[in-house]
Amino acid sequence: MKKNPALTALIVVPLLLAGCGGSTTASSAPSPNGSTNAAPAAAAAPADAKAAEPTVGTPFTADMGNGNVAKITILSAKFVDSISTNQFAPKSKSGKFLQLDVLWETEKGTTSSNPMYFDAKDADGRKADIAIFGDGIIGSSPVAVGDKNRGFVNFDVAPGPIKVTVTNPILQPVASLTVSP
């Protein structure tokens, strides 16, 4: 009987992946000695436990993928009337701009700062428009370990509590915080 390598791969690969911790559920099937493999209740995290949310002024780390880790500090968050001294600067549609003063550092590997890695939503969940033109916008550039990049990220959004989300280069959320300037 001749073996089919494609069929073998279809059977073997899922079995290997299943043994690599791909599942997050614990089995409660009895083992040969009669005990169960279920995790003890004390080892489970409480349902109301949540990771501490970053705050303005406090550095936080963000896994940017491929072993690259950024240390980001939102130094300040404030509502401003204008984001540029240029006479042709855009006017806010909502009345104000949320201006984040961001310090971007790399802890491991190489990361890239980019204002497009930031999103903001108002208290009603409406996405804010990012203002890519303005004075002092954070540059979109690689940041090596030991280097820093600092600049503004601006959003056209009505004043109030704002949920800011930081994403990685493939736009997956890696951190979020609420600012209430």
Tell me: pLDDT of 13 over 70: no
Alpha carbon distance 143, 152 (integer Å): 16
What single-letter DSSP state applies at residue 86? S
Tell me: pLDDT of 21 over 80: no
User: What pLDDT shows up at residue 17?
Assistant: 34
Alpha carbon distance 102, 32 (integer Å): 56
> pLDDT tens-digit profile of 108-151?
999 999 999 999 999 999 999 999 899 999 999 999 999 999 99
pTM of the predicted model as reported, rounded to 2 decimal places: 0.72
Locate 105 and state its tokens: 């550092």
**DSSP string covering 115-168, please?**
GGGEEEE-TT-PBPEEE--STTBPP-EEEETT-EEEEEEEEE--SS-EEEEEE-
User: What pLDDT shows up at residue 149?
Assistant: 97
Say whether domain 60-81+93-179 belongs to CATH 2.60.120.10: no
User: What pLDDT shows up at residue 141?
Assistant: 94
Task: Read off the pLDDT band of 41 (50, 70, 90).
Answer: very low
Tell me: pLDDT of 16 over 80: no
Residue 53: CB partners within 8 Å, gap ≥ 6? 176, 177, 178
Tell me: pLDDT of 162 over 70: yes
User: What pLDDT shows up at residue 90?
Assistant: 86
- The domain locations on the chain are 60-81+93-179
Task: Read off the pLDDT band of 52 (50, 70, 90).
Answer: confident
Q: CB of 73 within 8 A of CB of 100?
A: no
Alpha carbon distance 1, 24 (integer Å): 38
User: What pLDDT shows up at residue 51?
Assistant: 64
